[in-house]
Amino acid sequence: MIETDIIIIGAGPVGLFAVFEAGLLKLKCHLIDSLPQPGGQCSEIYPKKPIYDIPGFPSVLAGELIDNLMQQAAPFKPGFTLGEAAQDIEKLEDGSFIVTTVKGTKHHAPIVMIAGGLGVFEPRKPPIANITDFEDKGIEYIIKDPEFYKDKRVVIAGGGDSALDWSIYLTEKKIASEVILVHRSSSFRGHLDSVQKVIDYAESGKITLVTEAEVTGLAGGDHLEKVIITHAKDGEIVKEADHFIPLFGLKPSLGPIANWGLEIDKNAIKVDTLDYSTNIPGIYAIGDVNTYEGKLKLILCGFHEGTIALQSAFARIHPDKKNVLKYTTVNGVNGF
């Protein structure tokens, strides 16, 4: 049994900043996340994407933001259970909680803070019969490290910003030896400037653009070797490829948390904006996982919500103590 003051479910940016704010209150945190590393979407989906609305940073890469938050939390020595989704919760007679993961790891604390972002993500997979045979053998649903595709033949499918942006990036940075973009329509859902850039690259031969088509088959041995594209007019087209990346988005779900007795509205947890508490005393929800009137799904809003929630959590854990707000500009971090 892992004992701590606060169990934080979700090790994304909001959960990580909550560790820092809890540390200032001398509260220990342990984080649970289904992903194998901290960072949430910032690490798993778009680590190389710039973020422009973090105060004090005109631009910061998502992965760099996570590195900074980990460094900021480090003095307070948080614990981590990674690669294990939170499965069950039990409320004890004293009001504390035991949270058990899918692998059976148990955590005990008086406070549970859910910072699970948009929830558990699953990729939207194209309906190709043998697609699972090539997962991690040439099939990827997200791009974590662009350099992984150095000098490789890459087929990307999709018509949104992710498909367009990654096609442009792998081409402009001269990473992939060949980029083929396949889209089932002749029009795209992404930003107009990105669409135009892809069209320009296609006309100059830098990108192979195949519209009104879908990838319908895969072939290879131990690794992907070919993709079969079915075109509306030209029929079957076979392209040699080292990687196929279908970027059709991710399906968010609250997962097992939806069965915990929390008040849910449209796949989000309803909270009281006084302190971002849920309908179950002792459980809070912060960041994109919660909902209330006027909610904005922004990282910086999650930082605020976590800060306020932790003041309330401190009062629950130490009802006889008065918390006097101290400023880090005066006390530093070591003074807490």
- pLDDT tens for 27-77 read 999 999 988 889 988 887 778 788 999 999 999 999 999 999 999 999 999
In the three-class reduction of DSSP (H, G, I as helix; E, B as strand; rest coil), residue 152 is classed as coil
First to last CA, the chain: 27
Burial (0-12, 13-18, 19+ Cβ within 10 Å), 329: exposed
Place of tokens 């820092």: 20
- One DSSP character per residue, 243-307 reads EEEE---EEEE-GGGGGSS--EETTEEE-BTTTTB-SSTTEEE-GGGEE-TT----HHHHHHHHH
* Residues 33 and 49 placed together within one structural domain of the fold: yes
What order do you get walking across the sheet with 2-3 strand by strand? Answer: 2-3, 106-109, 97-101, 86-91
User: Does residue 178 fall inside a structural domain?
Assistant: yes
User: Does residue 336 fall inside a structural domain?
Assistant: no
The domain boundary, picked from 227, 246, 265, lies at 246
* Residues 177 and 316 placed together within one structural domain of the fold: no
For residue 197, the Cα-to-chain-centroid distance in whole angstroms is: 27
Average pLDDT, the chain: 93
Residue 236 domain boundaries: 125-246
pLDDT at 192: 92
Residue 267: pLDDT band by 50, 70, 90 thresholds? confident
* Residues 224 and 145 placed together within one structural domain of the fold: yes
What's the whole-number mean pLDDT along residues 315-321?
94
Backbone angles phi, psi at 264, to 5 degrees: -115, 140
What's the whole-number mean pLDDT along residues 273-291?
97
pLDDT at 333: 77
* Residues 134 and 70 placed together within one structural domain of the fold: no
Helix, strand, coil percentages for the chain (3-state, nearest 5): 30, 30, 40
In this predicted model, what pLDDT tens digit does every residue of 164-223 receive, in sequence order?
999 999 999 999 999 999 999 999 998 899 999 999 999 999 999 999 999 999 999 999
* Residues 130 and 271 placed together within one structural domain of the fold: no
pTM over 0.85: no
* Residues 106 and 141 placed together within one structural domain of the fold: no
* Residues 144 and 290 placed together within one structural domain of the fold: no
What's the whole-number mean pLDDT along residues 279-288?
97
- Closest-CA residue to 117 (of 300, 253, 288, 307): 288
pLDDT at 10: 94
- Closest-CA residue to 53 (of 303, 238, 319, 308): 303
CB of 283 closer than 8 Å to CB of 97: yes
Q: Is the pLDDT of residue 330 over 80?
A: no
* Residues 13 and 102 placed together within one structural domain of the fold: yes
pLDDT at 59: 94
> For position 222, which CATH number holds?
3.50.50.60
pLDDT at 128: 97
Residue 30 gets which letter from DSSP?
E
The domain boundary, picked from 226, 246, 266, lies at 246
Residue 43, token pair as written in the block: 């690490």
Query: Which ranges of the chain does DSSP label H, i.e. alpha helix?
Result: 13-24, 40-44, 62-73, 161-172, 192-203, 299-317, 328-331
**Cα–Cα distance measured from residue 124 to residue 217, given in angstroms and rounded to the nearest whole number:** 16
Q: Is the pLDDT of residue 132 over 90?
A: yes
Q: What percent of the chain has pLDDT over 70?
A: 99
Q: Is the pLDDT of residue 266 over 90?
A: no
Q: Is the pLDDT of residue 334 over 90?
A: no
The domain boundary, picked from 215, 246, 277, lies at 246
Total structural domains in the chain? 2
* Residues 83 and 139 placed together within one structural domain of the fold: no
In this predicted model, what pLDDT tens digit does every residue of 240-257 receive, in sequence order?
999 999 999 777 778 899
